[in-house]
Amino acid sequence: MANWETVVVNTDLLICGGGFSACGAATEAAYWAKKKGLKVTLVDKAALDRSGAVAMGLSAINQYVGIKDGENTAEDYIRYVRSDLMGISREDLVYNIARHVDSTVHLFEKWGLKIWKDEAGKYVHEGRWQLMINGESYKVIIAEAAKNAIAAAGGEIIERVFIVDPLMDGNKCVGAVGFSTRENKFYVFKAKAVIAGMGGAVHVFRPRSVGEGFGRSWYPPFNSGSSAYFTIKAGAEMTCQEVRFIPVRFKDAYGPVGAWFLLFKSRAISATGGDYMVVRKAELENWKPYGLVKPIPANLRNYLGMLDTEQGLGPLYMETDEAIKNIAAQFKDDPKAFKKKMKELESEAWEDFLDMTISQAILWAAQNVKPEEKHSEIAACEPYFIGSHSGASGAWVSGPEDLPTPYKWGYANMTTAEALFAVGDGSGASSHKFSSGSHAEGRIAGKAAIKYIVEKGKEPKVDMAEVEKLKAKILLPLDLWDKHSKETTDVEINTNYLLPRQFLHRLQKIMDEYAGGVISGFKTSKSLCERGLELMALLKQDAEKMGARNHHELMRVWENNQRVYQAEAHIRSILFREETRWPGYYFRADKPKMDDANWKCFVNCQWDRKTGEWKMMKKDIWTMPGV
Ligand X SMILES: Cc1cc2nc3c(=O)[nH]c(=O)nc-3n(C[C@H](O)[C@H](O)[C@H](O)COP(=O)(O)OP(=O)(O)OC[C@H]3O[C@@H](n4cnc5c(N)ncnc54)[C@H](O)[C@@H]3O)c2cc1C
Q: Which of 95, 123, 162, 261 binds ligand X (CB under 6 A)?
A: 162
- For position 561 contacting ligand X by CB under 6 A, the verdict is no
Stretch that binds ligand X, among 12-20, 400-408, 451-459, 512-520 (CB under 6 A): 12-20
Give the other-Cβ count within 10 Å of 515's Cβ. Answer: 27
Which residues, 6 or more positions from 620, have their beta carbon under 8 angstroms from its beta carbon? 406, 601, 602
Q: Are 39 and 12 in contact (CB under 8 A)?
A: yes
Catalytic positions are 62, 126, 218, 249, 352, 389, 435
Vertex 606: Cα angle to 602 and 610 (nearest 5):
170
User: Which of 622, 619, 231 is closest to 427 using CA atoms?
Assistant: 231
CB-nearer residue toward ligand X: 436 or 604: 436
What minimum distance in Å lies between the beta carbon of 254 and ligand X? 7
- For position 287 contacting ligand X by CB under 6 A, the verdict is no
Report the residue closest to ligand X, judged by CB. Answer: 19
Q: Which of 2, 40, 41, 52 binds ligand X (CB under 6 A)?
A: 52
Stretch that binds ligand X, among 191-199, 261-269, 278-286, 346-354 (CB under 6 A): 191-199
- For position 246 contacting ligand X by CB under 6 A, the verdict is no
| Helix/strand/coil percentages in the chain, nearest 5 | 40, 15, 40
- For position 44 contacting ligand X by CB under 6 A, the verdict is yes
Stretch that binds ligand X, among 60-68, 184-192, 466-474, 567-575 (CB under 6 A): 60-68
Pairing of strands 394-395, 238-239: antiparallel
Q: Which of 54, 188, 316, 429 binds ligand X (CB under 6 A)?
A: 54
- Distance, CA of 95 to CA of 75 (rounded, Å): 7
- For position 424 contacting ligand X by CB under 6 A, the verdict is yes
- Distance, CA of 121 to CA of 614 (rounded, Å): 54
CB-nearer residue toward ligand X: 142 or 419: 142
- For position 418 contacting ligand X by CB under 6 A, the verdict is no
Stretch that binds ligand X, among 66-74, 99-107, 197-205, 330-338 (CB under 6 A): 197-205
**3-state DSSP assignment of residue 616:** strand
- For position 60 contacting ligand X by CB under 6 A, the verdict is yes
The type of residue at 175 is: G
CB-nearer residue toward ligand X: 104 or 525: 104
CB-nearer residue toward ligand X: 308 or 553: 553
CB-nearer residue toward ligand X: 20 or 287: 20
What minimum distance in Å lies between the beta carbon of 46 and ligand X? 4
Query: Binders of ligand X among 301-360, rule CB under 6 A?
Result: none
What minimum distance in Å lies between the beta carbon of 617 and ligand X? 25
What minimum distance in Å lies between the beta carbon of 33 and ligand X? 19
What values do phi and psi take at 156, rounded to 5? -140, 140
CB-nearer residue toward ligand X: 223 or 520: 223
Q: Are 242 and 574 in contact (CB under 8 A)?
A: yes
- Distance, CA of 545 to CA of 143 (rounded, Å): 37
CB-nearer residue toward ligand X: 20 or 421: 20
- For position 415 contacting ligand X by CB under 6 A, the verdict is no
- For position 239 contacting ligand X by CB under 6 A, the verdict is no
- For position 17 contacting ligand X by CB under 6 A, the verdict is yes
- Distance, CA of 245 to CA of 219 (rounded, Å): 10
Counting runs of H as helices and runs of E as strands, what totals does the chain give? 17, 22
Q: Which of 2, 14, 16, 603 binds ligand X (CB under 6 A)?
A: 16
CB-nearer residue toward ligand X: 19 or 297: 19
User: Which of 298, 293, 214 is closest to 248 using CA atoms?
Assistant: 298
What minimum distance in Å lies between the beta carbon of 389 and ligand X? 5
Q: Are 330 and 309 in contact (CB under 8 A)?
A: no
Q: Residue 547 burial by CB count (10 A; 0-12/13-18/19+): exposed, middle or buried? A: buried
Q: Which of 11, 12, 15, 18 binds ligand X (CB under 6 A)?
A: 18
What minimum distance in Å lies between the beta carbon of 58 and ligand X? 4
What minimum distance in Å lies between the beta carbon of 562 and ligand X? 7
- Distance, CA of 257 to CA of 586 (rounded, Å): 21
Q: Which of 360, 435, 560, 606 binds ligand X (CB under 6 A)?
A: 435
Cis amide bond preceding 295, omega within 30: yes
Q: Which of 199, 235, 255, 500 binds ligand X (CB under 6 A)?
A: 199
CB-nearer residue toward ligand X: 435 or 573: 435
Q: Which of 14, 15, 53, 369 binds ligand X (CB under 6 A)?
A: 53
Number of residues in contact with ligand X under rule CB under 6 A: 38
- Where are the strands (E) in 447-577, listed by range? 523-524
Query: Binders of ligand X among 495-524, rule CB under 6 A?
Result: none
Complete DSSP assignment for 239-271: E-TT--B--EEETTT----HIIIIIS---EE-T
- Distance, CA of 531 to CA of 617 (rounded, Å): 21
What minimum distance in Å lies between the beta carbon of 199 and ligand X? 3
Q: Are 130 and 61 in contact (CB under 8 A)?
A: yes
- Distance, CA of 563 to CA of 569 (rounded, Å): 10
CA 154 to chain centroid, in Å, comes to 30
| Maximum C-alpha span of the chain | 80
- For position 430 contacting ligand X by CB under 6 A, the verdict is no
Dihedral (CA of 169, 556, 413, 387) sign = negative
- For position 207 contacting ligand X by CB under 6 A, the verdict is no
Stretch that binds ligand X, among 42-50, 102-110, 116-124, 582-590 (CB under 6 A): 42-50
- For position 436 contacting ligand X by CB under 6 A, the verdict is yes
Stretch that binds ligand X, among 26-34, 39-47, 484-492, 528-536 (CB under 6 A): 39-47
Query: Binders of ligand X among 211-230, rule CB under 6 A?
Result: 218-220, 222-223, 226
- Distance, CA of 42 to CA of 349 (rounded, Å): 37
Binding residues for ligand X (CB under 6 A): 16-22, 43-46, 51-54, 58, 60-62, 162-163, 197-199, 218-220, 222-223, 226, 388-389, 424-425, 434-436, 438
